[in-house]
Amino acid sequence: EKKSYDREFLLGFQFIVASM
C-alpha cells in the first residue's frame, strides 16, 4: 500500500520531533 500523508498529518509531527 502506498504511504501517502496529508500536510496536516505531516505538520503534526514537526513539534513532536522538536520536543524529543
1-20: contacts with another protein (CB under 8 A): 2-7, 9-11, 13-14, 16-18
Instruction: State the Cα–Cα distance between residues 9 and 16, nearest whole angstrom.
Output: 12
CB of 1 to another protein, least distance (A): 10
∠ at Cα 19 (13, 9), nearest 5°? 10
Nearest-approach distance from CB 20 to another protein, in angstroms: 8
Catalog residues that contact another protein under the rule CB under 8 A. 2-7, 9-11, 13-14, 16-18
